[in-house]
Every structure is written in structure tokens, then in C-alpha cells.
A = this chain, B = another copy of it.
Amino acid sequence: MPSKFVRENHTLLCDFYELTMGNGYLLSGIGDRIAYFDVFFRTIPNNGGYAIFAGLEQVIDYIENLHFDDEDIEFLRSKGVFDERFLEYLRNFKFTGDIWAMPEGTPIFPGEPLLVVRAPIIQAQFIETYVLLTLNHQSLIATKANRIVRAADGRPVAEFGSRRAQGADGAILGARAAYIGGCSSSACTIADQWYGVPATGTMAHSWVQMFDDEFTAFDVYCTLYPNNPTLLVDTYNVLQSGVPNAIKAFKKHGITKCAVRIDSGDITYLSRKTRQMLDDAGLYECKIVASNSLDEYIIRDVLAQGACIDAFGVGERLVTSKSDPVFDGVYKLAAVEDENGKIIPRIKVSENPTKITNPHFKKVHRLIENHTGKAIADLICIHDEVIDTAWPLTIFDPDYTWKRKTLTDFTAVELLKPIFKGGKCVYHRPSLEEIRKYCAEQLDMHWDEVKRFENPHRYYVDLSQKLWDLKHEMLRLNR
């Protein structure tokens, strides 16, 4: 985001326990101990086969702007639970650690580290909430948008759900994430100004109602905006009034490049009748835009029934990911360093097997089959493991270990890139256009089977033998 726009200080957008723990780490003398945290997620929204990673740019903004104002310190003092030494620590707070992350737009899968933090425990613990909030939100919306765009099968999808988003960032960063996921534009003006998401929009029903009759409303609009106007044709009656009046207005102004929008009723039936009326009037270039509580399921259905729709406007079901509005990314301790800098792995055990963590400082490889260019599996390794692609590599399912596969002709791409080193951002931030393009390219490297809406192929995320052995030894010892 350009620096000229003042952003709020969101430093205190943290869970209160990050502060009580921070105070406790400091007072118990372990505040400087180096800790490793992983961000990973457990389930793909909508039982899908893949998700899209998004929100990293806002993590970077957040880390760079972290600071406690005087009034923040004053507020915390007023809570009566923090030691003055801790408040003094916060007054000089600055993130000094390292962060690795996947580039935005990367297709991601459950269980793999998406972002890794290495920092003194107070710092690493403190950033948990905001990092998760940002990544969870934008990954959710980018994923949902990509499903909807996929259903639209090449037709442009405009995001216009701001009015029903969950708060301002829900609208603004939701528009950003939707664009990464493949939407072509947004109605959200400020998302254009701040992030370069192309903003578009024409008229609401109120425009039509403000004039004495529908034709006058269309006529005035075509006078003012003769360059590719879109007229909203369902204020009174689509087929009896809206479309005839739109045709009359287009004809009067000699406009051929134009569109009509249908926002209610049976859009399959109405769009087919509308297409016929437009064609009968010689308006072959006039596009039909449909909106009204759409999502990937409805779009797929209406297209399968032969709806004549050239573009979609999608609102609340995209911007809130209505069918599954939670992305379940978590932030878990994976290791600590002892006084000599030796990394000691940590594990979190649980009655629920999916809640058990993968211990240690790790990295992730995407294994690409050379002769197809397609991704076969992701492999999570301990940080110092090296994959030698000159030799065959046998991978195996971490739960059903008899499921094995040996790769010979493959490439291993490291997915986690350095973002911060010693508190300094070392990442060249790609533009939003680059991220969007990267997302589309990376998705092309995955088989269609992974991208099905229902019952997709489960893409493999495996552990290296060394990591698997470590994890099972720790589980055996339950520590």
C-alpha cells in the first residue's frame, strides 16, 4: 500500500493472552529465547482440493509498522497486570526476527508450513493474532474467488460485495484477495486506489427510480456515458419494460457496444429471452451481465442450462465466502533454541489427531514431474535436509505409510522464501498483477483432478523419513 495513506496503528490488535504470556516470559527470564512458530491450516474450505495463499503483503506492512504508542503503554498499564519492566520492553518493541513464507498466489494444502517465524519468544508470540487474521481472511477469499471464476469458465467475474462484507477490511482486502483469485474487477473504489484492483460500476435501481420513467433514466445515462454503458433492466419488469427501454435508448444514441444487467428473477430464462430480444434488434455486441446472490454452484447450474450470460457480478457469497466463511489457519510452536543455538523440536499432542503438530524448524518442497510439468506432492523436511534430484526419491503417506511412490524424473521447488532477516524485510514485493498472474500459472501446474468442486483428488503432503521418525519418537514419549 502506498505510504501516503495513513493506516491505523493496529499493534494492539492482538489477543490479550499474547501480552500476559509476554509479561510472563520476560519475568521468568526466558523472554529472549528463540522460538519457531509455523502457520498452517487443517481443512480446505468447501471440501475443495486446494486453497490459495494470500495476505502476505499485509503481514509485511504490519511487521514493519509494529510499535507501541504512549497511549498504548498507558492503556496497558491501566489493566493492572503488567510489570513496569514489560511495559518498558514494549516501549522499545521492534520485530528483530526472521520470517519465511510462500509467495501470495501459491496453491496451498493442509498441514504444510505457509509461514515460519523465528524470533525471541515475546516477539514471536505477540504477532500471532494479526498474522493469522490477515492470512486466514485473504486466503479464504482468494480461494472462494478462484472457485467462482473457475465456474464462470472464462467469463469475467466482478466482485461487488462490499456492502455485506464483515467490516472495512473485509471489503477492501476482500476485493484484493478476490482479484488474486482471478476476479477481473471490484465495485470497491478504495481497493482500486490503495491496491490497484480495477474498480467498475454503473447504476443502481435508485438511478432508474430518480427519473420520471425508465426510458428517461436510460436515455440520460447513455447521453452521459456513451462509451460502453451498462443499463440495469430489472427495476420494474425485465422483459416487458427494462430490455425494450434499453434497446430504445441504445438505438437512439447509436450505441452498439453496451450491456444490460439482470439482478433478480430467473436469470437463466430472463437472459435467454433478453439475448433473443437484443439479437432481434441487431444488438449482437450487447453483453448480458447477471447478478443476485450468485456463487460457483449457481453459476455452474445456470450455464449448464444454457443461460446467455457474458459476465457475472458476485456479491456477498464471495466477499464472506458464505458457504464456508472460516479459514482455519493456526500458529503453533515448532521448536526453541537452547543457549548454544541448538534447535530443540517441540510438539503439541491432542486427542484429535489433526490437532497434533509437526515438530522442528522445517522447509517445504513442491515436487514437480518433469515430463508433465505437474505437481505430484509437497514434501515437508527438516530445515537442513537436502533433496538430491539425481537419485530416486521415495515418498509415503504420513498416516497410511504403506502408500508409497518413487519419483525419478522430478524437480524439487522450495516454497518458503525469506521475507524478514533480522527484522529487515528482504523480500521484493511483487505487484498485485504479478501475484494474480503467478496464481494462475501455479494453478496450471496442478492436475484438474485436484481442482474439481466435489470430491477432488487429495493432493499429497508428505513428511520426509527423518521428520516422520522424529515426530513419532516424540509422540511415543508424549513430549
Binding site for B on A (CB under 8 A): 4-10, 12-21, 23-25, 27-28, 30, 33, 35, 37, 71-72, 75, 79, 81, 121, 125, 128-129, 132-133, 136-137, 140-141, 160, 162-174, 187-190, 192-193, 199-207, 209-210, 213, 220-221, 224-225, 234-238, 264-266, 316-317, 320-322, 325-329, 331-333, 336, 346-352, 355, 478-479
A165 touching B162, Cβ below 8 Å: no
B133 touching A163, Cβ below 8 Å: yes
Of B13, B23, B329, B347, which contacts A188 at CB under 8 A?
B13
B163 touching A35, Cβ below 8 Å: no
Q: Rank and list the top 8 A-B pairs by shortest CB-CB distance, nearest first.
A: A167-B169, A17-B201, A16-B201, A265-B351, A132-B163, A166-B166, A12-B190, A325-B325
Of B162, B328, B329, which contacts A13 at CB under 8 A?
B162
Distance in angstroms between the alpha carbons of A188 and B416 in the assembled complex: 30
- Chain B residues whose CB sits within 8 angstroms of the CB of A326 once the complex forms: 164, 316-317, 320, 322
- Chain B residues whose CB sits within 8 angstroms of the CB of A162 once the complex forms: 13, 15, 129, 133
A163 touching B15, Cβ below 8 Å: yes
Nearest Cβ distance between residue A298 and chain B, in whole angstroms? 15
Given contacts A7-B8, A23-B224, A162-B15, contact A35 B210 (CB under 8 A): yes
Nearest Cβ distance between residue A15 and chain B, in whole angstroms? 4
Residue of B whose beta carbon sits closest to that of A204: B17
Pull 20 A–B residue pairs with CB atoms less than 8 Å apart, ordered by A: A6-B6, A6-B9, A12-B189, A13-B190, A15-B163, A15-B201, A25-B210, A35-B206, A75-B193, A121-B210, A132-B163, A133-B168, A163-B329, A166-B169, A168-B168, A236-B479, A265-B351, A265-B352, A320-B320, A325-B325
Of B16, B170, B238, which contacts A169 at CB under 8 A?
B170
Nearest Cβ distance between residue A354 and chain B, in whole angstroms? 10
This chain: how many copies in the complex? 2
Distance in angstroms between the alpha carbons of A478 and B121 in the assembled complex: 67
- Chain B residues whose CB sits within 8 angstroms of the CB of A27 once the complex forms: 224
Residue of B whose beta carbon sits closest to that of A74: B193
A206 touching B333, Cβ below 8 Å: yes
- Chain B residues whose CB sits within 8 angstroms of the CB of A352 once the complex forms: 264-265
Given contacts A16-B189, A190-B13, A200-B16, contact A129 B163 (CB under 8 A): yes
Distance in angstroms between the alpha carbons of A316 and B328 in the assembled complex: 9
B167 touching A173, Cβ below 8 Å: yes
B20 touching A133, Cβ below 8 Å: no
A325 touching B322, Cβ below 8 Å: yes
Given contacts A132-B163, A163-B133, contact A346 B189 (CB under 8 A): no
Of B7, B169, B225, which contacts A81 at CB under 8 A?
B225
Distance in angstroms between the alpha carbons of A332 and B30 in the assembled complex: 58
Distance in angstroms between the alpha carbons of A336 and B20 in the assembled complex: 56
Nearest Cβ distance between residue A85 and chain B, in whole angstroms? 12
Nearest Cβ distance between residue A117 and chain B, in whole angstroms? 11
Distance in angstroms between the alpha carbons of A322 and B190 in the assembled complex: 27
A170 touching B172, Cβ below 8 Å: no
Of B4, B15, B165, which contacts A133 at CB under 8 A?
B165
Residue of B whose beta carbon sits closest to that of A168: B169
B201 touching A350, Cβ below 8 Å: no
Residue of B whose beta carbon sits closest to that of A14: B189
Nearest Cβ distance between residue A93 and chain B, in whole angstroms? 14
Residue of B whose beta carbon sits closest to that of A135: B163
- Chain B residues whose CB sits within 8 angstroms of the CB of A20 once the complex forms: 201-203, 225
- Chain B residues whose CB sits within 8 angstroms of the CB of A174 once the complex forms: 166-167
- Chain B residues whose CB sits within 8 angstroms of the CB of A265 once the complex forms: 350-352
- Chain B residues whose CB sits within 8 angstroms of the CB of A14 once the complex forms: 189-190
- Chain B residues whose CB sits within 8 angstroms of the CB of A331 once the complex forms: 163
Nearest Cβ distance between residue A63 and chain B, in whole angstroms? 15
Distance in angstroms between the alpha carbons of A321 and B325 in the assembled complex: 8
- Chain B residues whose CB sits within 8 angstroms of the CB of A164 once the complex forms: 132-133, 136, 326-329
Distance in angstroms between the alpha carbons of A150 and B479 in the assembled complex: 39
Nearest Cβ distance between residue A16 and chain B, in whole angstroms? 3
B205 touching A348, Cβ below 8 Å: yes
- Chain B residues whose CB sits within 8 angstroms of the CB of A128 once the complex forms: 163, 204
